Amino acid sequence: MSAPVLEARGLVKYYPIGGGPLRRVAGQVKAVDGVDLTLGPGETLGIVGESGCGKSTLAKVLAALERPTAGEVTVCGRPVGRLRGRALRRARRDVQLVFQDPYTSLDPRMTIEAIVREPFEIHRDLAPRGDRRARVRELLETVGLNPDHCGRYPHQFSGGQRQRVGIARALALRPRVLVCDEPVSALDVSVQAQIVNLLERLRDELDLAYVFISHDLSVVQHLADRIAVMYLGKVVEIGGEDDVYRNAGHPYTQALLSAMPVPDPGLRGRREEIVLTGEPPSPIDPPRGCSFHPRCWKADERCRAEPPALTAWRGAGHAVACHRPEVWSPAGGTEGEVSATR
Amino acid sequence: MASSTPVSASTDLRPVVRTGLTRSPAFVISATVVLIICALAVAPQAFAGWFGHGDPRACDLADSALPPREGHPFGFDVQGCDLYANVIYGARSSVAIALLTTLGTVVVAVVVGCLAGYFRGWTDMLMSRLVDVFLGFPALVGMIVILQTLSTHNEFTVSAVLILFGWPALARVMRGSVLAVVNSEYIAAARGIGAGPVRILLRHVIPNSIGPVAVLAGLNVGGIIAYESALTFLGVGLQTPAISWGVQLNTAQQYFTTSIHLLVFPSIFLTVTVLGFVLLGDALRDAIDPRIR
Amino acid sequence: MSDLLESLPGHDPGAPMLSVEDLQVEFATAHGTVRAVNGVSYAVGAGETLAVLGESGSGKSVTARAVMGIVRAPRGRVTAGAIRLRGVDLLTLPEETRRRLRGTTVAMIFQDALSALNPVLPVGYQIAEMFRYHRGASRREARRRAVEVLDRVRIPSAARRAGDYPHQFSGGMRQRVGIALAIALDPKVIIADEPTTALDVTVQAQIMRLLGEIQREHGTALVLITHDMGVVADIADRVAVMYAGRVVEEAGAHDIYARPAHPYTRALLGAIPRPHLRGKRLAVIPGAPPDMSRPDEGCRFRPRCELAGPGCADAPPLYDVAPGRASACHEWTKVIEG
């Protein structure tokens, strides 16, 4: 594999609680707690997990919007951790973020043109002043918007169109990597498909690599080459699409897959159901040992005492953080359907 | 379902101001009053001569404190000057102080509010405590003490003192509104494309957070004029030979039992002006604030 | 209080538990009148689950609010149609009677349980209030019943947690409280408005299972309002698909997934990412839903429809496609065949 465009080593991000001048820190939110990731050029890495698992924080740290508490992010071979000010801003160009909520991620007082042009005003070397307007129109066209609408304000657009504006803004800097933080979760199904297709097209045309973060397993499955499953700030399973969706080893991955609603009433009652009890514990005070053990049906003494490391399991590139991984795949038609079309 | 109405529609005031305001009678009336007062301030000579005696300094002690008569609709002041011309010329210093003070308080409040709200931490703590100190201090007493130690009392010194005690309340509002904006995703997006703090503050934070402060400042204009008059009335504001409503009222207090017109005419102008600005600020707030609409 | 319903005019034990007939709801906005619901009809029987499927702005939630009688005047009002519980038209009843039916006969579960609960009162107290207000229970009795209900939605150590305030519950537990509030008085009809949209997948599974169990135990009629075709497939008996304020297709859950009879339903199904579509482009519906403030006489889906022809300028009626199946498309035969 060619040199990775984005790499994270031992990434940790804690947020102090109640801290501040003259106030004692009451605790730490362990949002991201030791994550290693590698992203090759043109690759799509899906990250799935439930709310509070740290996937959004991970997105911000990867895009250098937040400084990690420990660990290092390397972009195209350059570690960004020690950069400050102008150099940091220069380095951020290669990794751009697409936000979840198209209603809040665009400045309501700026026209679409001003929003997409802002990157050029910050990085003046990108395009000479005279070319900027043309570049903005070109970018709007690339994401499927009518460039004649560039004088409009965000509220005059629908959710899907706003998301396209956000993507155009991110593309202006010619990034190598787009970190998409739940880019379609706020959109309706039909619009969601438009954006998913757009992201796929851009990946092919511009040779982009994606970190695609979502709680929606089916969207991630559609787009991702490799998938990382996060639970309480840690990656609990990582592997190719086939490994994770059909040969899941971690009980949490298995529960997620089983809970994923499948749009086929014929499968009702035919799928193996794993309904977890309880909800993810608080990242302020994660359980000792394996952080999943309080909800796990296989947990034993060892799981309660000793946190499992993410270790290679079965094929190449498939790793699971579980003391007793077992192969499992969602029973019923999902698999049959796939083999039928292959 | 709920997402079908874009959230930002309410934060963008352009269309609201265009459609809602011009239909509101409170806005039309108050805007007219404010416009007239501003015209008086800018070009008093155009209005003062309406009754044939436009020079506020053309005085004859023989006319001292005489009641209104033909050509002198408001009568004469103690010095025997035409009171109508004096009241017209008095608008200038009142409006000048009001505008200077408003501008000054807004600038200070925006700077302090932005620094505190955007940088948080120690900056925030220091600024917020400073605001608390000023808010806890009896402002009128402070103004009197400071003005008494100053040798010159003109529009600028009076404005400066009013700014000194006027900014904290606005700064607190600004800080709150900056805090709300700073956590928006479009601020994170701006950082993501490499914008520095200055650009973020000027392009994104201030335009999106200044609304409440601007409206509050508008509401305060009337109060400032009243305050200026009060200071002058107490003898620590503008002083003769300056022409201002405050000075006129200050003089009138000694004579009002015998010459009531000295008190009545400046008071009417002062009251109408203060009301005009307050109503204008009110109408603006109603038009902008989505919760009231 | 079912005896209340039985005593009302028009009561007919043979009529469907809930039926909405040709309902119209309008909202006054700055941009004119918006007819958010334009002639919606559906019916649901006891023990049955009807999923009302639609995207934002389709009118699915407004319809539900109209059934509950919580469309607020003067901005929004029901302008035509009927809402019947066992034949009793709710729209003709005095407000006081409707209020007595709310909670006792028809109850609602909201998407955001936190906003449906009063933040300054303990949840147990809020549920107990229902028993005191509607059943005239004593304070002690009401509290006992409240704990019982919290236990029924499987909130661990219910007696202790009854004294907690809404913000002390996690997302899933909060939605359980929302369900407890809805089922407290054993209503005949429960309307669940996107009950799991705000929840995580694993928690969603718990909540849907709980709803299913409650419904089976009590034979409740359940109207599930959702945009999630996966959830619908898991739980619904029948599906009504809404688009731009109208029901465009109604059918049994199996039929609608296997052989949709309306182009919109078909396009929606095609837009879902599925394992065998990996690496392929998803089918998309071009364009965006229509502007509801500018009514269009014809089929509202026409501008986005691949089958649109000149005939679509006339609004299609709901054609009977098969027993229990209907589609509002002139070309339904073409759709259903391929």
pLDDT surpassing 60 at residue B4 = no
Q: How far is B150 from chain C (nearest CA, A)?
A: 54
Q: Is B1 on the interface with A (CB under 8 A)?
A: no
Alpha helices by DSSP H, chain A: 55-62, 85-92, 112-122, 132-142, 159-171, 189-206, 217-223, 241-246, 251-259, 301-305, 333-341
Taking the C-alpha atoms of residue B251 and residue B87, their distance in angstroms, rounded to an integer, is: 13
Taking the C-alpha atoms of residue C186 and residue C180, their distance in angstroms, rounded to an integer, is: 10
In this complex, do C206 and A275 lie within 8 Å of one another by their Cβ atoms? yes
Token pair, residue B214, equals: 């601007």
pLDDT digit string, tens, across residues A25-46:
778 888 999 999 999 999 999 9
pLDDT, averaged across chain A: 87
Query: Domain holding A161: CATH number?
Result: 3.40.50.300
Nearest-by-CA chain A residue for C239 = A265
The rounded radius of gyration (Å) of the Cα atoms in chain A is 21
Backbone angles phi, psi at A317, to 5 degrees: 80, -5
Taking the C-alpha atoms of residue B45 and residue B58, their distance in angstroms, rounded to an integer, is: 13
pLDDT surpassing 80 at residue C294 = no
Range scoring the smallest mean pLDDT among A191-205, B15-29, C204-218: B15-29
What is the amino acid identity at position A80? Answer: V
Looking at residue A336, its pLDDT comes to: 32
Taking the C-alpha atoms of residue C169 and residue C155, their distance in angstroms, rounded to an integer, is: 10
Residue A22 has a CB neighbour count (10 Å cut-off) of 6
Mean pLDDT of B149-177: 90
Domains along chain C with CATH numbers? 2-105+187-337 (3.40.50.300)
By the 8 A CB rule, do A6 and A74 touch?
yes
Q: Is B15 on the interface with A (CB under 8 A)?
A: no
pLDDT digit string, tens, across residues C164-195:
999 888 888 888 999 999 999 989 999 999 98
The C residues from 200 to 239 touching B (CB cutoff 8 Å) are none
Contacts of residue C61 in chain B, CB cutoff 8 Å? Answer: 1-2
Looking at residue C73, its pLDDT comes to: 66
Q: Do the domain assignments include residue A17?
A: yes
Instruction: Identify the chains in contact with C, defined as 3+ C-beta pairs within 8 A.
Output: A, B
Q: Is B1 on the interface with C (CB under 8 A)?
A: yes
Looking at residue B282, its pLDDT comes to: 77
Looking at residue A339, its pLDDT comes to: 30
pLDDT surpassing 90 at residue A135 = yes
- Three-state SS for C275-323 is HHHCCCCCCCCCCCCCCCCCCCCCCCCHHHCCCCCHHHHCCCCCEEEEC
Backbone angles phi, psi at C112, to 5 degrees: -105, 95
Instruction: Identify the chains in contact with A, defined as 3+ C-beta pairs within 8 A.
Output: B, C
Contacts of residue C60 in chain B, CB cutoff 8 Å? Answer: 1
The parent domain of residue A164 ranges over 6-341
Q: How far is A226 from chain B (nearest CA, A)?
A: 25
Q: Is B4 on the interface with C (CB under 8 A)?
A: yes
Confidence at B42, pLDDT banded by 50, 70, 90: confident
Contacts of residue C197 in chain B, CB cutoff 8 Å? Answer: none
Domain count, chain A: 1
The pLDDT > 90 percentage for chain B reads 19
Residue C67 has a CB neighbour count (10 Å cut-off) of 21
Taking the C-alpha atoms of residue A118 and residue A99, their distance in angstroms, rounded to an integer, is: 17
Burial of C87: CB neighbours in 10 Å, binned 0-12, 13-18, 19+: middle
H helix and E strand count, chain A:
11, 12
Q: How far is C2 from chain B (nearest CA, A)?
A: 32
pLDDT digit string, tens, across residues C2-55:
578 888 888 888 899 999 999 999 988 777 788 889 999 999 999 999 999 998
pLDDT surpassing 50 at residue B13 = no
Of A196, A262, A266, the CB nearest to C230: A262
Q: Do the domain assignments include residue A1?
A: no
What is the amino acid identity at position A217? Answer: L
Q: How far is C157 from chain A (nearest CA, A)?
A: 13
Instruction: Identify the chains in contact with B, defined as 3+ C-beta pairs within 8 A.
Output: A, C
The pLDDT > 90 percentage for chain C reads 45
Taking the C-alpha atoms of residue C177 and residue A72, their distance in angstroms, rounded to an integer, is: 43
Mean pLDDT of A13-26: 75
- Which of C27, C31, C55, C56 would you mutate first to test chain B, the one with the most B CBs within 10 A? C56
Distances (CA, A) of C176 to A31, A50, A296, C65, C199: 26, 18, 22, 21, 11
The pLDDT > 70 percentage for chain B reads 89
3-state DSSP helix/strand/coil % of chain A, to nearest 5: 35, 20, 45
Of A193, A218, A337, the CB nearest to C284: A193
Element (H, E) at C36: strand C32-44
The C residues from 148 to 177 touching A (CB cutoff 8 Å) are 170-173
Element (H, E) at A237: strand A234-240
Greater confidence (B267 vs A329) lies with B267
Taking the C-alpha atoms of residue C81 and residue C86, their distance in angstroms, rounded to an integer, is: 16
This model of the complex carries an ipTM of: 0.83
Mean pLDDT of C108-124: 88
pLDDT, averaged across chain B: 82
Backbone angles phi, psi at C274, to 5 degrees: -130, 155
Q: Please state the separation of Cα C306 from the chain's center in Å.
A: 29
If phi > 0 it is left, if psi is from -120 to 50 it is alpha, else beta; for residue A182 that is: left
Mean pLDDT of B201-226: 85
Domains along chain B with CATH numbers? 34-52+71-288 (1.10.3720.10)
pLDDT surpassing 50 at residue A340 = no
Greater confidence (A254 vs A342) lies with A254
Nearest-by-CA chain A residue for C206 = A275
Only one residue has tokens 């103690």, namely B78
Looking at the DSSP assignment, which residues form a beta bridge with residue C27? C34, C76
Backbone angles phi, psi at C82, to 5 degrees: -140, 150
Q: Is A159 on the interface with B (CB under 8 A)?
A: yes
Q: Is A92 on the interface with B (CB under 8 A)?
A: yes
Mean pLDDT of B155-163: 91
Token pair, residue C134, equals: 């509607």
What is the amino acid identity at position B121? Answer: G
If phi > 0 it is left, if psi is from -120 to 50 it is alpha, else beta; for residue A238 that is: beta
Looking at residue A21, its pLDDT comes to: 64
Range scoring the smallest mean pLDDT among A61-75, B219-233, C222-236: B219-233
